[in-house]
Amino acid sequence: MSRNSLNIFKLIISGVFFMLFFMSGTSILAQEKCASHLILQERISKSKVLSDQNFEEWLSKKIAHRKFSQQIEGSASRTAAIVQIPVVFHIIHKGEAIGQGVNLPKERLDRQLETLNEDFNLLNGNLAETIDEFKDLAADVEIEFVYAKQDPSGFETDGIVRLIGSQFTYSYDQRATLSAESYWPAEDYLNIWITDVTSPSLGWAEFPIANLPGLEEASGNRLIDGVTIDYQYIGDNPNSPIFESKGRTLTHEMGHFFGLRHIWGDGGCSIDDFCEDTPEASSSHSGCNLEATSCNTLNMVQNFMDYTNDACMTLFTQDQKSRMRAVVENSPRRLSLTTSVALEEPIPLNKDLALQAVNQKFISNCDQLYTPTTLVRNQGLDSITNYSVELKLQGSIKERKTFSDTIPPGREVKINFDPISFNSFGEYELSYKLILNGQTDERISNNELKEFYQQNASKSVPYQQDFSDGFNDWLIQNLDDEESWTELNGYVGVPLYQKRTNLGQKERLISPIFDFTTLDIPALELVYAQAADTNAHQLTIYASYDCGASFTDLLYSSTGNEVVTAYGKNEAFVPEHRLDWDSLYLDLGRLRGKPSVCFRIEVENRGNNNFYLSQFKLEESKIPEKRLSPVSWRNANALYCEEAIQSMLRLKNTGRSVVTNFSIAVKNGDETLNEFNESVAITSNQVVTYQLPEINPPATSGVLELQVSTTFEEETITESIFLPYQQSCSEEIPPIRLDLSKASKENWYIFNPDKQNSWIFDNQYNAMSSQSALVSKELEEDWLISPIVDVTRTEFLSLIFKVAYHKPYKQQESLEVYLLNESERNIIETLIYEKSADSLATSFGNEADAEPIFRTELIDLSPYTYKEKIRVAIKAMHDNGANVYLKDVTFFIGQETPPPYPDTRAQFAVYPNPVTDGTLNLHFNLNQADSGSFQILDLRGNVIMRFYEPKILNQFVSFDVSALASGLYLLNFQTEGLNQSVRFIVE
């Protein structure tokens, strides 16, 4: 399917493909089984090296060169053209016995390898079923897949690795975690991971990279390079859920691994798969409809790169072969597979003594005493009698042991050195060296090992580590000797922006040892920063109860982007603002009473930007056993006019356990107005809304306090919420504008239920500020309530205001507007405007001092003017993020936003003058409301038009003067403060 579309092709090859199925019972509901189009941006976002156009241009040149070379050299024998690829199957199972569940028997793997070789070498049994139109296009790709013969250490292997995974299932976005479970170098091994893949995926494959001229080598995600397949679709399996597996899911993904696109190009008729002999197709196909057509052509539904059932697939084409062979012969990690040492049997040497590690790379324990241990294995053909093992501590020889016992071929001996006492904090390097005495070891690459003993410091709790001072008593575990934790821009962090290719690598930071027998309920708070990107680094926290010898208790593991704090950057991220940071709070009740606890903070590289830590704190938990917190008043109007105050209360269980009994008291100063007990079960973190009885205020103004009390083990916890109230029966007629500069805000009322910072006038921006940046309490609200508006003489009315909100990455302030009905009940009843986060934002970023950008909002209140009297309440809900700004808050007569005021220095403007389109505009911008009369007169003094307005403030009035003859006229208007006449011309 070739359309010369390279110059207009907009998709970017990410390098990763995966099969995606949607099912209901056994029927396929959608044809999008491979979601490569969803992830095509990934690689280009990680590296500027590879783009689809560059890759295809590179590949087309290689294909052309290969065809030309074949023409010059003539047809070589088939045997000479075959390349072998060493395969290792990593079976990541759930602990099943071999042959059960995910832990597949070797026979299934053998059959899968046979299927690959049949499909890639034109030996598949169903080849004859290829329809006549495409039979001549079937290609022998001449690639043979074989089990690896030796492992990365040079030992003999059967090419199968079996181990229990750290989780039961794995999804595509966890591929780095999966490959980290078991991985052999991708330069020498085709890694095939077999596991329980999270539905609806069946698997995925990494696309090949290209070493383009003038560019550094491409993305280099070597740690995830390979193919992943769900265990149910390996080899022959008549019981596979969607279709009967014949092993061709792996054939399909192997096509991607060697550079093939889907035959419909992941986009339809206009998108190319860069193979001339695959007919155009508009989409994928399921089942096996051999008569399917699209793009005015018969579709090649039997191609291995479609989505048809396994039994339907029969061929790769000649151009697909050319594409795959060009990749095999040129793409770096594909080419290196063809000459891998894994294709060779381990070289039998006469004298080959090797050291093998017994312990992990990093060791720790509680008794500060460590016995260095290693294994000596005879991998040669000769028995070895005389050898020595040397132990060095911090580079100096600590002990040397010499042995004369014979080690037969294939045997191993455990060597124990004298215990070493480590009583000082720090990291100690231990190295082992193997020496054959009086003989020559024919392989010296396996004669040395290195490990590290880490002695943790002991610290008391409460404890706080400010990483701006460096690591102090913390230890680093660098598993790959590349970028790891370091002091970074005034904090500690991992400079992963410079190392975005070593995906899956885990960088570890180890805390001191703590005694939690001195705290009732311990809690941990961690302050961190990370910029947004395609995949956030995974943050994991483990606890050890044996001084760091093992970390078996997973306390926290991030999923997705919840540990992202800032917007993405095209440079190394450095936290500069308060909002670049966020905190993680963990209640550690299960660590209560444990004497020797230390923590491992682990960041897994997922190709994102730099990761930072600012603070680590251990203290008594802020969460009591039982606590019920009043969150906010609901449907309560702080302004009332003769009626009792009716309201609802939002309560949240902020304790650890279920609350079944609590008491509520409503107080006015020291006077208790109402008090009652309740028995209802509210679980931890549950939010409920509670109807309060009517409250009859004892005065025309004051502050009501609502107390909620819970008791546990004779300790009573009381939390309060406040409702400032004021009797307000004054009425105004529109237009009305909130004069922000006045402290009284005229008849507008401001209240905050916790007596904290509330709406204030910001002189710098001439606007009301919500002060959200200062409010730290969860779900805190601030209210701005209008006076009563008499709308009996108003048919069309709008609320207009300008809003500005510079949204941070993580925090999400919101703004809501409610309509209060004064003619029926004094409650907030109708939500007429609601925006939060991105919808509220007028700009984005974590800068606290960003200049606000204002947007005009209009709410049409005309549908509510039948109520005769209304109030409006504007509510800001805080998230300790950025301030919300309001200005020019106005009840405006009309249903459309008026044009911008033409002259801010004058109190009125008349335009256009001369009038050319029959409309004369009069725009007021008075400082104070006033009544006024209007007249239009001709030059003889005849009144042509007159009217009276009971209130003038910021009206925009249009006069229809189209019936007037051309000439000069007079517009006269008079208010208490103005008496003006303006001449205007009608043309």
- b/e per residue 195-228 (b: at least 16 CB within 10 A): bbbeebbbbbbbbbbbebeeeeebbbbbbbbbbb
Angle between helices 318-330 and 52-73 (to 10 degrees): 100
Identify the CA nearest to 47 among candidates 189, 182, 222. 222
Q: Which residue has the tokens 């209130």?
A: 951
CA 383 to chain centroid, in Å, comes to: 57
**Residue 441 three-state SS:** coil
User: CA torsion sign, 583 to 589 to 592 to 595?
Assistant: negative
Q: Are 87 and 114 in contact (CB under 8 A)?
A: no
Cα distance between residue 99 and residue 805, in whole Å: 60
Degrees to nearest 5, angle at CA 704 with 700 and 707: 165
Cα distance between residue 745 and residue 637, in whole Å: 17
How far lies 348's CA from each of 157, 410, 855, in Å?
14, 12, 77
Residue 901 backbone phi and psi in degrees, to 5 = -65, 130
How far lies 828's CA from each of 125, 326, 825, 856, in Å?
75, 71, 9, 24
Q: Long-range contacts for 22-31 (Cβ within 8 Å, ≥24 apart)?
A: 22/200, 23/199, 23/200, 23/241, 23/242, 26/241, 26/242, 28/242, 28/286, 28/287, 31/283, 31/284, 31/285, 31/286, 31/307
Asked if the peptide bond before residue 912 counts as cis, ω within 30 degrees of 0, the response is: yes
Cα distance between residue 853 and residue 458, in whole Å: 52
At position 762, the amino acid (one-letter code) is: D
Cα distance between residue 535 and residue 172, in whole Å: 11
- Residue 785 forms beta bridges with which residues? 749, 873
**Residue 310 three-state SS:** helix
Residues present in the chain in total: 987
Cα distance between residue 260 and residue 894, in whole Å: 62
Angle between helices 106-120 and 248-257 (to 10 degrees): 60
What ranges make up the beta strands (E) of 472-610?
475-477, 486-488, 491-494, 506-510, 513-514, 522-530, 538-544, 553-557, 582-587, 598-604
Cα distance between residue 404 and residue 385, in whole Å: 5
Neighbours of 27 (CB within 10 A): 9
Cα distance between residue 675 and residue 653, in whole Å: 20
Torsion of CA 674, 678, 683, 688, to 10 degrees: -50
- The residues carrying an active-site annotation are 253
User: CA torsion sign, 953 to 958 to 964 to 969?
Assistant: positive
How far lies 253's CA from each of 70, 226, 789, in Å?
28, 10, 68
**Residue 563 three-state SS:** coil
Identify the CA nearest to 179 among candidates 212, 124, 227. 227
Cα distance between residue 517 and residue 521, in whole Å: 10
Cα distance between residue 243 and residue 798, in whole Å: 61
